[in-house]
Amino acid sequence: MILAMVRDIRVILVKLADRLHNMRTLGVMRPEKRRRIARETLEIYAPIANRLGINAIRVELEELGFAALYPLRYRVLEKAVRVARGHRKEVLSKIETAIKRRMHQEGLSGRILSREKHLYSLYCKIRNKALSFDDVYDVYAFRIVVDTVDTCYRALGVMHNLYKPVPGRFKDYIAIPKANGYQSLHTILFGPYGVPIEIQIRTEEMDKVAESGVAAHWLYKSGKQNHDQMQAGAREWLRELLEMQKNAGNSIEFLENVKIDLFPDAVYVFTPAGQIMKLPHGATVVDFAYAVHTDVGNTCVAGKVDRQLVPLRTPLRNGQTVEVMTAEGAHPSPAWLNFVVSAKARSSIRHYQKSLKREEAIDLGRRMLDRALAVFDATADGISEKRLAALLKEYRIPCYEDLLMDVGMGRRLAVLVARALVTAGEDGLSRENDEKTMRPLVIKGTEGMVMHFAKCCRPIPGDPVVGLMTAGRGMVIHTTSCRNLREHRHPPENYIDVQWEPGIEEEYPVEIAVLVADRRGVLATVAAAIGNADSNIENVGMEERDGLTNTLRFTIAVHNRQHLARVMRRVRSIPAVMRISRLRG
């Protein structure tokens, strides 16, 4: 549907009309099907109608969906509104008469309509803000429809003279339209009898656009330029949806991003050049960077808000000027997903992480395949393109890089791929080649997403290690003495001989248990000794044994076995320490 919408926006108009017809005839369906369709309508179709500015369809979809999903709540609220409406008629009539009289005195003409909140809007406000019905319904709303934009602002002045405005409750959607093209002036006034009055002021054309949204392009020929701009805005939104769909890993992730994008409580900020940017409520500097351009978001390293340096996770507020600093070679951090709110930022960060994982998997797969080919006295460069193409066709893989990624991710075994490449067209292998031993794969410890270090045995440089290929995760490194390897039988071809590269500078977590006498300050003494041995403590736990001794469990960071031995010697020299040992799962 999204792809069809991008090609022709009228597709969604037909789809919304079809859904509206379905909702009007929902009563004939089974209750569970009725609820499922109603929930889908409220979560997807009504917000899409809102995003495209088609208010008339949105309101009816929400009312029908509310009645089908929560029939009892709908009936209770409808009855309360019906009762309250009778008490409001006199007040509404007095306020409307006062507005008409003042408009006439100032020489302004226009239609004045009293407006009621529809039931679903009332329900959401009561639920989300924990208000009583009286608090929500005790707002008298009017719409003033005039002929020109100039008259809108003059009418606003008249209203502010008639009743006092509530500070901070004025919104100018004419100068800064909503994302769906909606334009109007909104203000809240202190009315007679102390009741708040909500006033919306707009032109006839704005009123038509508010009801019909992008459909106004086909319904009304006047002011065609404005409608074209609004349709261009809708197309831009659809293009962003298409980009999210390409970046999303699956349909559930895409739907999550669409839902975020469909409920934008907007915040307006400025670029250093003075351009206005619309972002979702709660957006951060990183969201702003991705709104400017995906490449800006991917390489941003710092941000300035109103010329002050701020952390990237800083939420933005209306009217702030935001500047982003980028650095060549910088890349998104997975931690950004914890605070970004815009769908574009989330999908772009996830897409980058997936592409990074792909690159690492291809690199590991290439090294593993080269090692496997060496057994057969062959190299990847020596394989003919014809033989490689035949194998890719047999495996139904589009390109060589995808084959390498499959090897690196453990979905295909390097030795079997190497055998297929070398022996294509042959019946078998000579015993001489079968008995050759493979050179161990050298690991650097920085392979990232496609190489993991087992938490059961926590290998560190200097430990004898073995790689275990796991489909989808890549390679998991265990110590050769790991209990999990002995207890769980894996096929021999899943094991890869590996060895550490000399001179690794990375730090690795390892667990140690220290048996100590129960004395005051012994934990602090042991911790200080670990720190003095240039090791960082990542976690600590303690268990009491017999009232005389305690066992302290530390997770510490070390460079290699020599560094660990140095730490253990330093701790063992403490008089209160009775025994120290390395834990292996």
559-573 pLDDT tens trace: 999 999 999 999 999
Give residue-wise pLDDT tens across range 249-285: 667 766 666 666 665 567 788 888 888 788 887 889 9
H/E segment holding residue 51: helix 46-51
pLDDT band at 138 (very low <50, low <70, confident <90, very high): low
Pairing of strands 276-280, 266-270: antiparallel
| 550 has pLDDT over 50 | yes
Q: How far apart are CA 311 and CA 301, in angstroms?
A: 9
66 φ, ψ (degrees, to nearest 5): -60, -45
Please state the domain extents for the chain.
72-214, 508-583
> Which range, of 169-173, 211-215, 366-370, 447-451, averages the lowest pLDDT?
447-451
Does 233 or 314 have the greater pLDDT score?
314
Q: How far apart are CA 285 and CA 347, in angstroms?
A: 16
CA-wise closest residue to 267 among 315, 205, 227, 300:
315
> Which range, of 224-228, 272-276, 315-319, averages the lowest pLDDT?
224-228
Right CATH number for 508-583 from 3.40.250.10, 3.30.70.260, 3.40.50.2000, 3.20.10.10? 3.30.70.260
Task: Please give the average per-residue pLDDT across 134-138, as a whole number.
Answer: 69
Q: Does residue 578 sit in helix, strand or coil? A: strand
pLDDT of residue 485: 81
- Percent above pLDDT 90 for the chain: 23
Say if residues 289 and 303 touch (Cβ distance below 8 Å).
yes
Cα of first residue to Cα of last residue in the chain, in angstroms, is 51
Give residue-wise pLDDT tens across range 410-424: 777 777 788 788 865
Q: Tell me, what amino acid is at 250?
A: N
Say if residues 376 and 422 touch (Cβ distance below 8 Å).
yes
pLDDT of residue 224: 46
Task: Please give the average per-residue pLDDT across 109-117, as a whole number.
Answer: 83
- Percent above pLDDT 70 for the chain: 83
pLDDT band at 339 (very low <50, low <70, confident <90, very high): confident
Give residue-wise pLDDT tens across range 349-396: 888 877 777 787 888 888 888 877 877 778 888 888 888 888 888 888
pLDDT band at 216 (very low <50, low <70, confident <90, very high): low
* Residue 531 neighbours by CB under 8 Å, 6+ apart: 537
Q: Cβ-count burial of 459 within 10 angstroms (0-12 exposed, 13-18 middle, 19+ buried)? A: buried
| Helices and strands, number each (H, E), in the chain | 23, 20
Does 487 or 267 have the greater pLDDT score?
267
pLDDT of residue 258: 67
pLDDT of residue 435: 40
Task: Please give the average per-residue pLDDT across 468-474, as a whole number.
Answer: 70
pLDDT of residue 322: 92
Domain 72-214 has CATH 3.30.2290.10: no
CA-wise closest residue to 453 among 503, 511, 405, 537:
511
pLDDT of residue 239: 67
Biggest CA-to-CA distance, the chain: 107
What are the tokens at 531? 């720190």
pLDDT of residue 307: 87
Q: What is the 3-state secondary structure (H, E, C) of 179-219?
A: CCCCCCEEEEEECHHHCEEEEEEEEHHHHHHHHHHHHHHHH
pLDDT of residue 427: 37
Q: How far apart are CA 561 and CA 583, in angstroms?
A: 13
pLDDT of residue 481: 86
Does 3 or 166 have the greater pLDDT score?
166
Task: Please give the average per-residue pLDDT across 5-25, as a whole number.
Answer: 83
pLDDT of residue 448: 58
Question: How confident is the prediction for the chain on average, in pLDDT?
Answer: 81
Give residue-wise pLDDT tens across range 431-452: 334 444 455 667 766 555 567 8
508-583 has the same fold as 72-214:
no
pLDDT of residue 429: 36
What are the tokens at 324? 């982003």
| 402 has pLDDT over 90 | no
> Which range, of 7-21, 34-48, 213-227, 234-248, averages the lowest pLDDT?
213-227
pLDDT of residue 557: 93
Residue 307 CA, chain-centre distance (Å), reads 28
* DSSP assignments along 260-300, one per residue: HHHS--EEEEE-TT--EEEEETT-BHHHHHHHH-HHHHHHE
Q: How far apart are CA 281 and CA 318, in angstroms?
A: 9
pLDDT of residue 430: 34
